[in-house]
Amino acid sequence: MLPIHPRLVHFPIALLVVGVVLVLLDPWCRGVRHSRACERTGFASLVAGWLTVAPAVISGLIDQSPIAIDSPARGVSNMHITAVVVTWVLFGLAIYLRVRRRHIMDDPRGRWLYMGLLLAGLVGLVVVGELGGQLTYVFGVGQV
Asked whether residue 2 carries a pLDDT value surpassing 80, the answer given is no
pLDDT value, residue 30: 83
Q: What distance in Å separates the CA atoms of residue 70 and residue 15, rounded to the nearest whole number?
A: 35
Query: Helix 53-64 to helix 10-24 angle, to the nearest 10 degrees?
Result: 140
Can you give the pTM of this predicted structure?
0.93
Listed residue (18, 16, 31) closest to 105, CA to CA: 31
pLDDT value, residue 105: 92
3-state secondary structure of 69: coil
SS percent in the chain: helix, strand, coil, step 5 = 80, 0, 20
What would the mean pLDDT of 117-125 be, rounded to a whole number? 98
pLDDT value, residue 6: 87
pLDDT value, residue 23: 95
